Amino acid sequence: MPDLQSIRYGLRDSVTKWFERPAVSILVALKFTPSVATVVGLGIAFIAAYFVYRGEFFIGGVLVLFSSVFDLLDGGIARATGRVSRRGALMDSVFDRVSELTVLIGLAMYYTSGPDANQWGVLLAFVAMSGSLMVSYVRARAEGLGVKGTAGFLTRPERVVIMVVCLLIGYPMASLWILGVGTPLSAAWRFIDAWRAIGTE
């Protein structure tokens, strides 16, 4: 029976074959650079956060989807144009985190006031922010110590899918419950896996 990682990599290969490569070819033809794609993705995320804050979740979900598309394609553009660099990798990683946090901040602000004010919504948004950051941090720290830090679930692609789907159907609170509970568990799983790997050295 395939494990979670095998399923994840299989889906990633399918996305690369049927979407990423054709889309990268189009953007390269339009003279997009990796940095431009990264910045465009971040800009769209800020606009998405504004619509989420206003309670216009469907528009916000569509924009989060478009933002994630540019996030997906910037690395492909870099490889296709021979512009892979450490600065680009740093920029991509940092802007990814900012994009994600921006949308969650938009949700937190939405639940702070108005007819749908909800303390749980605010709390879960901030827990989801912390959990998402910890998932990424544990991986970075583990790899800095020479071990893999890829165990767990609710990595960036899964988090984006959950957020987009819940926004499109008009149930953002569902995404906050899933991410607020799931991301800390995922970070803990990743930490334990890395801890065990270090212990076997």
Structural domain including 167 reads 4-199
More confident of the two residues 121 and 7: 121
In contact, 52 and 60? CB cutoff 8 Å: yes
Cβ-based neighbour number of residue 9 at 10 Å: 12
Least trusted range by pLDDT, from 24-33, 118-127, 184-193:
24-33
Paired tokens of 104: 């969650």
Q: What is the pTM of this model?
A: 0.88
Per residue in 52-67, pLDDT (tens digit) is 999 999 999 999 999 9
Region 71-91 average pLDDT: 87
pLDDT, position 113: 84
CATH of the domain at 29: 1.20.120.1760
**Distance, CA of 122 to chain centre:** 19
Distances (CA, A) of 6 to 16, 42, 79, 150: 15, 30, 24, 12
Q: Half-sphere exposure (CA, 13 Å, Cβ side) for 195?
A: 6
Q: What DSSP character marks residue 114?
A: S
Give me the number of domains the chain comprises.
1
